[in-house]
Structure 1
Amino acid sequence: MSPTRRSFLRSGAGVLAAGAIAGCLDGAAGGGEGVDSGYAAFFTLHEWAEAVSGDLADFEDPVDVGQMGHGWEPTGNVTADIASTDAFVYLDSPEFGWAQDVAATLEADYENIAVIDALAGLEDQLIEGDHEHEEDDHEDEEDDHTEDEHEEDDHDDDGAFDPHVWTDPVLAREMVANIADGLAAADPDNESTYGENADNYRSDLDALDEAFETMVEKADREAAVLAGHNSFQYLEARYGFELHTPVAISPKAQPSQSDIADTIEFVDDNGIDVVLYDRFESPNLAETIVENSNAEETRAISPAAGTTPEWNDEGWGYIDQMEQLNLPALRDALGAE
């Protein structure tokens, strides 16, 4: 059983029919009568769903501007809102447990909504997560947990892989293709349009992939420092550089003093001038590392899982964040001038 399915199959939304499970594993379930509207679970998936559907459908993003999809939890009856549309695009990942629960309910109780898992078929390309810091943080409290709390922790621990698959432009191509396949299955009359739109967007991802490859080839260093939780393991694996971070991949993880000291030493040992930080997190840790090392400045980088009011006003999407923010920041951090 793949790591993305374990939490989903025991999410408590009811026993699913075998056909519904098979449909989700293929990438989509339900639908077949056209797609006019839908929801996508967070910013990046929303952009991709909009790009693939084009003028055929309007998709909503439940996550407000200024918030990241990773770690977000809905308020109100979001399931009812989603169920009133024709399609739901999500990641079948325990890190997005609310979306798994919604998908389970839709598949069990609604026949005419397409449930599209953008991660379908990518299970063998997922990278193991780093939950070491989280485990350390909870070690002292473990004896006090009730049985229910242990069950809740088990749900979280199922996220043993890094969910930030979308940061890799190559894997993003496959996820866009999954969305196109899911929409085509729900709306076969427009299959060619979904395919053409997906191909157009995938050409932009190809260009982004080439830009990252060129940047890393020109880099003087193979390592940089990210003062925040690491959302970029897929970029590291794809392009062959290292982001040293004192924080685990979870947004809730906190660095220890020894982690910070080790990172300061890493900066000085590797002659690093620029310390990166997550635009959706505080720059304080990055500033502390710069103040106590030979580094000279901080630069923001984005996991491209959300947007800011400023970027929203500029019309920045996933590609823009990667090209306009992440590429220049990594270029400076890796010495790829």
Structure 2
Amino acid sequence: MSRTRRSVLRSGVGVLAASAIAGCLDTSTQGDEGVGSGYAAFFTLHEWAEAVSGDLATFEDPVDVGQMGHGWEPTGNITADIAATDAFVYLDSPEFGWAQDVAATLEADYETVAVIDALADLDDRLLRGDHQNDEAHTEDDHGEGAFDPHVWTDPALAKAMVANIADGLAAADPDNEATYRENADSYRSKLDDLDAAFETMVDEVDRETAVLAGHNSFQYLEARYGFELHTPVAISPKAQPSQSDIADTIAFVDDNGIDVVLYDRFESPNLAETIVENSDAEATRAVSPAAGTTPEWNGDGWGYIDQMERLNLPAFRAALGAE
């Protein structure tokens, strides 16, 4: 894809690492039996890769429970671990720069590892990273933060990404193509149900605007379903609101009769609590960008769809004015 830097590893350091890894790995047994193992860059892609591969392959998620994939950086020689498997599923996005570097190394030196970009052919459906919902990024606008990476939060785009994973696995393992396609179709039907549930939710709520006290991971949901999230923080999880931003948000809550303030489950609730304490709002509710999991959710068997259905749907419903 023209979107990225895959062909040139960051600062030239990745090239040296690639050469070193190539010299010490024995890849003679890789790829002989189709796709039996692989890595997926974070929680959501891991779930999708596991769903599409079914019993044919086992995928690893390198991100620890309790952490989000967006903003995560690996420690140690993760490239060597991934290169010892049959497939790598990732997002070709600068916000996942470590995964871009791994993909570039694999494509240059490990022909037996299938490199699968879940964002393939989705360029014209990506949103800018500056909350300009009506503008997709342009062909020449590929810098860090040029587009919002939270594509997976949109069930319709999730369907396209699952299809891309199936395409990649089928190309790497054509003998099992029918199984990959069937598994992908089954999962995509669940995403259709999720899409319909969000459509029903926005039809039933009283307002088109809610408040999220944290960085906005839901721009794709806003664009898909036609509601808006007011937030004192930008898309970047590193952004910090000013006192003026917080005061403006408190005024926004009161002016719009907002009762529930949302916050990201993977961030502190302190900002949301501050807004509630200083406004007419009555409660906070957690939402999840579905880019990671928690020990509690693991214990309950929650995956991506569970987070979207059981946590996000009722929280957005409450924040938009309908219980």
| Residue in structure 2 matched with residue 8 of structure 1 by the alignment | 6
Distance 1:258 1:9 in 2: 43
Pick aligned residue for 1:191 from 172, 177, 185:
177
Alignment of 1:288 onto 2:274: yes
| Equivalence map 1:89-128=2 (5 Å) | 89-128=89-128
The aligned amino acid for 1:64 is D
**TM superposition shift of 1:157:** 4.7
The aligned amino acid for 2:105 is T
- Secondary structure at 1:293 match in 2: coil
Distance 1:102 1:299 in 2: 37
- List per-residue Cα deviations over 1:144-186 (Å, max 9, x = no partner): xxxxxxxxxxxx9522110000000000000000000000000
- Cα contact 1:8–1:94 (8 A) shared by 2: no
Q: Structure 2 vs 1, CA of residues 195 and 32 (structure 1 numbering), >3 Å: closer, same or farther?
A: farther
- Secondary structure at 1:66 match in 2: coil
**TM superposition shift of 1:32:** 8.4
| Residue in structure 2 matched with residue 24 of structure 1 by the alignment | none
- Cα contact 1:268–1:295 (8 A) shared by 2: yes
The aligned amino acid for 2:163 is A
| Residue in structure 2 matched with residue 160 of structure 1 by the alignment | 146
| Residue in structure 2 matched with residue 145 of structure 1 by the alignment | none
TM-score (norm 1): 0.86
- Secondary structure at 1:124 match in 2: helix
TM-score (norm 2): 0.89
Structure 1 segments, 4+ long, off by >6 Å, are: none
- List per-residue Cα deviations over 1:44-93 (Å, max 9, x = no partner): 00000000000000000000000000000000000000000000000000
- Cα contact 1:33–1:186 (8 A) shared by 2: no
Q: Structure 2 vs 1, CA of residues 187 and 32 (structure 1 numbering), >3 Å: closer, same or farther?
A: farther
| Residue in structure 2 matched with residue 54 of structure 1 by the alignment | 54
- List per-residue Cα deviations over 1:294-319 (Å, max 9, x = no partner): 00000000000000010011110000
Distance 2:161 2:131 in 1: 25
Gaps spanning 5+ residues in structure 1: where?
16-29, 133-155
Alignment of 1:299 onto 2:272: no
Distance 1:117 1:32 in 2: 22
- Cα contact 1:301–1:329 (8 A) shared by 2: yes
Overall identity of the aligned pairs, in %: 84
- Secondary structure at 1:59 match in 2: strand
Alignment of 1:174 onto 2:160: yes
Distance 2:93 2:200 in 1: 31
| Residue in structure 1 matched with residue 254 of structure 2 by the alignment | 268
- Secondary structure at 2:286 match in 1: strand
The aligned amino acid for 1:61 is D
Higher RCO structure, 1 or 2 (CA under 8 Å, sep 6+): 1
Q: Structure 2 vs 1, CA of residues 124 and 31 (structure 1 numbering), >3 Å: closer, same or farther?
A: farther
Gaps spanning 5+ residues in structure 2: where?
17-29, 133-141
- Secondary structure at 1:298 match in 2: strand
**TM superposition shift of 1:33:** 5.3
Pick aligned residue for 1:248 from 234, 256, 264:
234
Distance 1:211 1:113 in 2: 37
- Cα contact 1:131–1:160 (8 A) shared by 2: no
Distance 1:216 1:51 in 2: 28
**TM superposition shift of 1:336:** 2.8
**TM superposition shift of 1:8:** 2.6
Distance 2:105 2:131 in 1: 29
